[in-house]
Amino acid sequence: MSRYNAKETEVKWQSLWSERDVFATQTDKSKPKYYVLEMFPYPSGRIHMGHVRNYTIGDVIARYKRARGFNVIHPMGWDAFGLPAENAAIERGVHPGKWTYENIAIMRDQLKSMGLSIDWSREVATCHPQYYRHEQKMFLEFLKAGLVERKESWVNWDPVDNTVLANEQVVDGKGWRSGADVEKRKLSQWFLKITDFADDLLDGLKTLERWPEKVRTMQNNWIGRSEGARVFFKIRDEDHRPAGHDTLEVYTTRPDTLFGASFCAIAANHPLTDALSASNPELQDFIAECNKMGTSEEAIEKAEKLGFNTGLKVTHPFDETIELPVYVANFVLMDYGTGAIFGCPSGDQRDLDFARKYDLNVIPVVLPAGEEAESFTIENEAFTGDGTLFNSRFLDGLDVDAGKRKAIEKLEELGQGKGTVQFRLRDWGVSRQRYWGCPIPVIHCESCGAVPVPDEQLPVELPEDVTFDKPGNPLDHHPTWKNVECPSCGKPARRETDTFDTFMESSWYFARYCSPRSDQPFEREDVDYWLPVDQYIGGIEHAVLHLLYARFYTRAMKKIGLLSVDEPFRGLFTQGMICHETYQDSQGKWLSPDQIEKIDGQDGYITIDGGSPVKVGPSIKMSKSKKNTIDPADILQAYGSDTARFFMLSDSPPDRDLEWTESGIEGAWRFTQRLWRLVQTSLEALPAKEASAPAEFSEAATALRRTLHKSIAGMTENVESFRFNAAVAKIYELTNSVSQFKPQSDADQWALRESLEILVRLCGPMMPHITEELWQQLGNTTLLVDTSWPEADESLLVDDSLTLPVQVNGKLRANITVAANADENAIKTAALAEPNVQRAMDGKDIRKFILVKNRIVNIVV
């Protein structure tokens, strides 16, 4: 018997599926639909093991739902714009488009080698003009609908990539791609008004029951709805305050702590700061230092809290005799609230650090439970918990919530403030200063202002003849591309040279898949049928950026009449990472797995080149920097895609990290060969395909069939709930049972055929190539991929007998076997007949006889 030849078999079936367009899907309202989508990849040039896991999970769901009778759409495309292509152009002297399309071709072949059930006729690349022309048109429709605004804004500026970054793209104060320290810069930017949908986006989270709770919480926190008050502080010093600045408006979520205020602080770009700095060089220098910081919370939290005393003072809203100094502070942001705060050092650690640095008062106003008002003080740690208000006059004795309500009531009564709702969410700045992105379809005219590009001139395409020899945006440096006539007045004008944030493309691609060749963004009939996506799969790192933008963009498309749904993704699954041990040589240099080998007969490793000892580190996420990566191409070449897929599903729950080990992949390969042998060695013992089911089965055959149909029921439940590792465990158990079964009669042979065919069908979504081959060898003339999912026989899911433990006064004394349908009297009789139970009872009367159905018997004497 030959060994299973993965390479030959996988090419054979992939070719046949392609020739017959097996996975091509059409809108068909007579069938229930199911939309499976994995987050599309950036075409970097090679797939990695994370891709293998992600697309294997999606493919299992797609094949399973297809077998359950759904009309399944399972598309693929490329998130193809972005800085890496531009960086490659600089490093390699190649055009970003050429680099991108060559990478797409390589990765497409790699993904096809996995045997994914993808409808490749729906493939899109976001860098193609026939994709982004629709994005440009939608942007102009958003502009007409009032969802777009151009304004000056302080932005995060990456000085290496020379582009704006969203707050979400700033990690620990550094650019998410370049790693450079982010600075503040004021630029005119295009914004999408995501804040108009803040409440709706927040409420929508409650409907996403099939999203991970962690992701919903992250989005909830990012939107950040808070109830508080706007407080008006009167600015004193009429002779020194700038004209038009007689009041400082502050937003706070803690008006109950106003009596603990010891200062006010304003942002470095607050209008009052601008007015004060006009004649103050020292303040100008301080502002410049503040602008070297990024605008992200990480940058602000980690920076030393610094302030500049303006010399101005404000009066307390509840008591005009109390004056508070006004500082410009580096930790106050202009784009949250009003760009001004009051500092309550006793209740906020940042305010406390600031107060200690500048020797300001610290007045405790919230008394923790169990503390005495006379002795409670704040030293180096602010108290942020609940308690009772004190040192707060008319608020004394109230709890925090009641204090907030009373403070707002008083502010409104005095005309010193107003209760209000605030969101942490900011509008989405979509302008980026780079070449390889979708051009923003606007023309700037000195006479007419910002003029939309006429529809007949769309798409605005990127020029091919660009150079990357100067810092900044190549579109700014192009000699002719940006110079055009104004569509309104015909005068010389200038194209917008900023391009869209690449999150624009990924915010609607799922809808384009529904009608990928349409002259419209998509056909209404198609999106009404296919959307929302039933199951979306991808990394949790996209919980805020991509997923929130896609939810907003879907609502924006609905507002301009393109579709009818609010939420793009009905279900979301976030898979874990792929991890691997790390290796270092004696100098601490990272080594890749192919640079080391095991020491003969011992634990540990040595380097292949030189035989030096190797230090083995912890298993962490695969990364190029630590060299602990495995190339999927090598695995697919050595073991085949079925084995790689099976291992990806078998080792751990798919939402947790998976540790890649040689022993793990080899174990999956052994199972692949075992499955092949099991069918091969059984073929001669099988009855004809058309043989009828026998009237009776032997005890052994009945036991096998019970295991078989319990496996169907269990695996169905496991796949539906994404517990693929549990499903794999059931496949192992079933394989063992089938392997141990030795048919002795025609009825036994029929049971063996049934078991083998169902085993192959159950393995099909996980291991599609070997099972397609085995399906044919078992005498079937149809394709396995077109075969329905097996249904469990309910009568075989119930055992004839039941084993129950028997306890006497809580201690196990015996196990009894009774008929599955035995009543309580029969079970009691069997239990009392056990010698060990009789000895434990020692002739005493039964006080209670407790039967937990199908679980346990407990006798109390």
Token code pair at residue 481: 């591309």
CA of 614: how far to CAs of 382, 594, 603, in Å?
48, 13, 11
290 pLDDT band, cuts 50/70/90, is confident
Q: Are 110 and 44 in contact (CB under 8 A)?
A: no
Q: For the segment 152-208, what is each residue's pLDDT rounded down to a tens digit?
A: 887 888 888 777 776 667 777 788 778 888 888 888 999 999 999 999 999 999 999
Q: For the segment 526-578, what is each residue's pLDDT rounded down to a tens digit?
A: 999 999 999 999 988 888 889 999 999 999 999 999 999 999 999 999 998 88
Q: For the chain, how many residues are written?
A: 861
115 pLDDT band, cuts 50/70/90, is very high
Residue corresponding to tokens 């104060």: 173
C-alpha–C-alpha distance, residues 184 and 333, integer Å: 11
Percentage of residues of the chain with pLDDT beyond 70: 99
Task: Note the pLDDT of residue 490.
Answer: 96
Whether pLDDT at 294 is above 70: no
Please tell me the chain's helix, strand, coil percentages from 3-state DSSP, rounded to the nearest 5.
40, 20, 40
853 pLDDT band, cuts 50/70/90, is confident
**Residue 429 vs residue 819, higher pLDDT:** 429
Q: Which of 154-158, 276-280, 573-577, 702-706 is least confident? A: 154-158
Helix/strand/coil for 336: coil
Q: Domain-by-domain residue ranges, the chain?
A: 30-128+508-574, 139-199+434-500, 225-423, 580-660, 686-798, 801-860
Task: Note the pLDDT of residue 561.
Answer: 97
Task: Note the pLDDT of residue 594.
Answer: 86
Region of residue 6 (left: phi > 0; alpha: psi -120 to 50; beta: else) = alpha
Task: Note the pLDDT of residue 175.
Answer: 82
Task: Note the pLDDT of residue 340.
Answer: 97
Task: Note the pLDDT of residue 516.
Answer: 98
- By the 10 Å C-beta count (0-12 exposed, 13-18 middle, 19+ buried), 59 is classed as buried
DSSP state of 701: H
Angle CA(734)–CA(735)–CA(737) in degrees, nearest 5?
65
Q: How many CA atoms lie within 13 A of 328 on its CB side?
A: 25
Please enumerate in sequence order all residues whose Cβ is within 8 A of that of 30, keeping only pairs 6 or more positions apart, or say none: none
Q: How many CA atoms lie within 13 A of 315 on its CB side?
A: 13
Task: Note the pLDDT of residue 797.
Answer: 87
Task: Note the pLDDT of residue 295.
Answer: 62
Q: Please name which of 159, 180, 161, 177 lies closest in space to residue 169, comparing C-alpha atoms.
A: 177
Angle CA(316)–CA(322)–CA(327) in degrees, nearest 5?
70
Angle CA(618)–CA(620)–CA(623) in degrees, nearest 5?
125
Region of residue 150 (left: phi > 0; alpha: psi -120 to 50; beta: else) = beta
Task: Note the pLDDT of residue 614.
Answer: 92
Task: Note the pLDDT of residue 731.
Answer: 97
Q: For the segment 37-76, what is each residue's pLDDT rounded down to a tens digit?
A: 999 999 998 899 999 999 999 999 999 999 999 999 999 9
Across the chain, what does the average pLDDT equal?
A: 93
Q: For the segment 140-149, what is each residue's pLDDT rounded down to a tens digit?
A: 999 999 999 9
Task: Note the pLDDT of residue 495.
Answer: 97
> Do 225-423 and 30-128+508-574 have the same topology in CATH?
no
Task: Note the pLDDT of residue 297.
Answer: 63
Q: Average pLDDT in the 399-418 region?
A: 97
100 pLDDT band, cuts 50/70/90, is very high
Token code pair at residue 620: 């962490």
C-alpha–C-alpha distance, residues 104 and 647, integer Å: 26
Task: Note the pLDDT of residue 728.
Answer: 97
CATH fold, domain 225-423, is Isoleucyl-tRNA Synthetase; domain 2 (3.90.740)
Q: How many CA atoms lie within 13 A of 336 on its CB side?
A: 19
Task: Note the pLDDT of residue 299.
Answer: 63
Q: For the segment 295-329, what is each residue's pLDDT rounded down to a tens digit?
A: 656 667 777 899 999 999 999 999 999 999 999 99
pTM for this prediction: 0.86
Strand partners, 806: 814, 857
Q: Average pLDDT in the 666-692 region?
A: 95
1 pLDDT band, cuts 50/70/90, is low
CATH fold, domain 686-798, is Isoleucyl-tRNA Synthetase; Domain 1 (1.10.730)
> Within its chain, how far is the Cα of 368 from the centroid?
39
C-alpha–C-alpha distance, residues 755 and 384, integer Å: 63
CATH fold, domain 801-860, is Ubiquitin-like (UB roll) (3.10.20)
The secondary structure element, H or E, covering residue 688 is none
Q: Please name which of 228, 225, 224 lies closest in space to residue 417, comparing C-alpha atoms.
A: 228
Whether pLDDT at 652 is above 90: no
CATH of domain 30-128+508-574: 3.40.50.620
Whether pLDDT at 239 is above 80: no
Please enumerate in sequence order all residues whose Cβ is within 8 A of that of 694, keeping only pairs 6 or more positions apart, or say none: 746, 747, 750
Task: Note the pLDDT of residue 168.
Answer: 63
Task: Note the pLDDT of residue 296.
Answer: 59
Q: For the segment 458-471, what is each residue's pLDDT rounded down to a tens digit?
A: 999 999 999 988 87
Task: Note the pLDDT of residue 90.
Answer: 82
C-alpha–C-alpha distance, residues 553 and 536, integer Å: 16
Q: Please name which of 404, 363, 369, 406 lies closest in space to residue 386, comparing C-alpha atoms.
A: 369
Q: Average pLDDT in the 692-712 region?
A: 95
